Structure 1
């Protein structure tokens, strides 16, 4: 029987990519958009999920509090795995059975489920100047129809551009936390689809927060979105 996995992520793009890849890898997958929705789900689910894979940074119930509540509902028979686009601080995530750094492969997930080391690659090492991770693109292309792949990347770009609009408003209002939050979400979603240049820029924006040249950085990000869009259009014509 396939392993039953519940994916919990408030980012629509990450949730959709993880669901597609996990189903392709043979898992039986359900997905919800928040920790609170996950708690409702496991209260009703029979049988219970064997694995809960949840993002660490979400509105509402999240992090170790979510893990404690899930453990109370699911018992020791459910493996609780945390994931995030950033490394967590010391002591954070101790209620989970493992941690995966986005983006990660299904092989990394399988290793975590079987009791091995759960880390992930992070996706940025040695990729300076790379716009699109060809390996990730090829895996996604092998996991879905071309129309689905095109829509997935269109969703990625729409989501990123919408969040950049919010970042401009946050910059105008001097809201550093909101600015960093949107950058973090972009970083995670773009990483999952191999949009490495956008992931790099979002990582830099999250780490730096508001600064004197944030408008120029956001303009640079929009140029990078167009660069990725041109590459994807070229792929469609091949």
Structure 2
């Protein structure tokens, strides 16, 4: 019988990618877009595993883990995930932590062995535009048309968030700027857009600076490089 996993992520792209990959890996997948939705869902369908982003608006982090545990009991494995390293003392309510992006093999190994901490990051990420390993796994788990739609969704989502970041920068809204950068980091990481993920990580960590416009322009240029690479893949 397939393991039932509930994927919780407020970022639509990350949630969609994870759901597709987990389904392809043989899991029975449910999804929720917030901690509140997850708490409602586990009362209807009890999952064996809950995989949740640890940084979301509303109920999240260790408080979400505490409430999930009270509803699901000790028999459900609670796994946290994030595009950033956890701060000391954060995540203690979970059985394990996965650093985005991660493979289904990593997830399966974590579930099987109960590892407390797992990392699966591409080497030399600063010199890479597209993680070939992530791309290959996505290509192997869906039809070509679905793969094209997925990356188109990634680039469209990035364009929308960059515009929001420009608006935030124009009014000095550092919190919104960082929030959108965090969402970009997670979504880009899940599809192997390594250069975009690295830039988004930098923007989130730095926040608004005098060079924020230049950084956003660099992100747009990197998005164009990714587009050209994907076109080359599709033509081969």
TM-score band, normalised by shorter chain: over 0.9
Distance 1:113 1:32 in 2: 20
TM-score under structure 2 length normalisation: 0.96
Distance 1:206 1:104 in 2: 20
Query: Contact (CA 8 Å) 1:6, 1:49: kept in 2 or not?
Result: yes
Distance 1:185 1:33 in 2: 13
Partner of 2:213: 215
Partner of 2:68: 70
Please state if 1:120 is matched with 2:93: no
SS state of the match for residue 145, structure 2? helix
Partner of 1:133: 131
- Where do 4+ consecutive residues of structure 1 move more than 3 Å? none
Shift in Å, 1:60? 1.2
Query: Contact (CA 8 Å) 1:85, 1:122: kept in 2 or not?
Result: no
Query: Contact (CA 8 Å) 2:95, 2:114: kept in 1 or not?
Result: no
Segment drifting more, 30-39 vs 112-121: 112-121
Partner of 1:4: 4
Query: Contact (CA 8 Å) 1:105, 1:120: kept in 2 or not?
Result: no
Shift in Å, 1:129? 2.4
Please state if 1:107 is matched with 2:113: no
TM-score under structure 1 length normalisation: 0.96
Distance 1:177 1:140 in 2: 32
Structure 2 runs not aligned, ≥5 long: none
SS state of the match for residue 83, structure 1? strand
Query: Contact (CA 8 Å) 2:103, 2:134: kept in 1 or not?
Result: no
Distance 1:184 1:136 in 2: 20
* Within-5 A mapping of 1:13-52: 13-45=13-45, 48-52=46-50
Structure 1 runs not aligned, ≥5 long: none
Partner of 2:84: 86
Partner of 2:177: 179
Shift in Å, 1:176? 1.4
Q: Deviations over 1:191-222 (max 9, x none)?
A: 11111111111111111111111001101111
Query: Contact (CA 8 Å) 2:96, 2:114: kept in 1 or not?
Result: no
